[in-house]
């Protein structure tokens, strides 16, 4: 429970911070595509006897870069490209898992999270990856805000727009992987979107939004984990429900305030 608590705070804060950029860039569906694509990587790891989090991370990053590359070259909408990668990766995972029925229990843990199975080594790796994501966002903050407002103007000023877009997708992939143990690949998208969306209801200042999103993500991680402990329910679902409850509560309060 101690490791689970630390993980819930860390993952919630990292997801909230990155979620600000996802909401600002209207990239929620990209997060869904990348998070669900990790299922293919998990299946590959389990079948090959390799740590599934390692193969899922490599696979998710490859999908993120693939989305960026195809979106740049193909004359298709962004949603269409993401849909292709999303469905293809999911199908690959299902086919691979169907080849060995003994892995179904393992699959359930990766789909919906199993934070109580987190080892000390995994917690250290999670912390290092989370620090990398937050540090990268802090360094590239100005550039990411610039391209969020107007990509064409950013290109005219010589900013590496394509590189920054690819970087953001890779950070989403890394964050998905560090959150797999907490809420699973099917629910991690909620942590990437809901706290940041809630923060946007309370402030129009970007820096305040980032702090609020990180704080709300961490707080919901703690509340959800505590609820799961006392009510004997799934931790991943409980954490996500805490974020959703906070969002709708904010909508009601803000509506009455107006």
CA distance 3 to 71: 39
CA distance 57 to 42: 9
Evaluate whether 8 touches 183 at the Cβ level (below 8 Å). Answer: no
CA distance 140 to 134: 10
What's the confidence (pLDDT) of residue 39?
82
193-220 average pLDDT score: 91
What's the confidence (pLDDT) of residue 236?
84
**SS3 sequence, 118-177?**
CCHHHHHHHHHHHHHHHHHHHHCHHHHHHHHHCHHHHHHCCCCHHHHHHHHHHHHHHHHH
Q: What 3-state DSSP class applies to 25?
A: coil
199: containing domain: 2-257
Evaluate whether 15 touches 179 at the Cβ level (below 8 Å). Answer: yes
Q: How many domains does the chain have?
A: 1
pLDDT at 256 over 70: no
Which pLDDT tens digit goes with each residue over 151-190?
788 888 888 888 888 888 888 888 888 887 777 777 888 8
Provide the residue count of the chain.
258
What is the share, in percent, of the chain residues with pLDDT greater than 70? Answer: 93
In b/e form, how buried is each residue of 70-97, taking b as 16+ CB within 10 angstroms? bbeeeeeeeeebbebbbeebbebbeebb
CA distance 79 to 87: 12
CA distance 91 to 67: 17
Confidence band for 198, pLDDT divided at 50, 70 and 90: very high
What's the confidence (pLDDT) of residue 101?
60
CA distance 220 to 227: 10
What's the confidence (pLDDT) of residue 106?
61
More confident of the two residues 181 and 127: 127
Query: What tokens were used for 8?
Result: 């819930």
Evaluate whether 110 touches 184 at the Cβ level (below 8 Å). Answer: yes
Please state whether 26 falls in left (phi above 0), alpha (psi between -120 and 50) or beta. Answer: left
Which pLDDT tens digit goes with each residue over 9-46?
998 999 999 989 888 888 777 777 787 788 888 888 87
| pTM for the whole structure | 0.83
CATH number at residue 248: 1.10.3470.10
């Amino acid at each position: 429970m101690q490791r689970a608590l630390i993980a819930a705070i860390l993952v919630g804060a990292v997801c909230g911070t990155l979620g600000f950029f996802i909401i600002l860039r209207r990239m929620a569906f990209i997060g869904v595509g990348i998070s669900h694509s990790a299922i293919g990587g998990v299946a590959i790891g389990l079948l090959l006897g390799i740590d599934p989090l390692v193969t899922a991370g490599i696979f998710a990053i490859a999908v993120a870069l693939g989305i960026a590359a195809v979106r740049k070259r193909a004359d298709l909408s962004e949603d269409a490209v993401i849909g292709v990668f999303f469905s293809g990766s999911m199908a690959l995972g299902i086919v691979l898992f169907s080849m060995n029925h003994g892995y179904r229990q393992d699959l359930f843990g990766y789909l919906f999270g199993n934070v109580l199975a987190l080892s000390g080594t995994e917690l250290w790796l999670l912390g290092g990856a989370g620090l990398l994501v937050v540090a990268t966002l802090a360094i590239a903050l100005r550039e990411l805000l610039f391209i969020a407002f107007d990509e064409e103007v950013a290109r005219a000023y010589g900013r590496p727009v394509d590189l920054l877009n690819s970087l953001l997708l890779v950070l989403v992939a890394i964050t998905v992987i560090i959150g797999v143990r907490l809420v699973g690949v099917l629910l991690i998208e909620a942590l990437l979107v809901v706290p940041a969306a809630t923060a946007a209801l309370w402030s129009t200042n970007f820096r305040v939004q980032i702090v609020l999103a990180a704080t709300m993500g961490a707080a919901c991680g703690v509340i959800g984990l505590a609820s799961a402990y006392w009510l004997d329910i799934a931790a991943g679902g409980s954490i996500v429900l805490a974020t959703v409850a906070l969002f709708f509560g904010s909508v009601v309060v803000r509506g009455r305030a107006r």
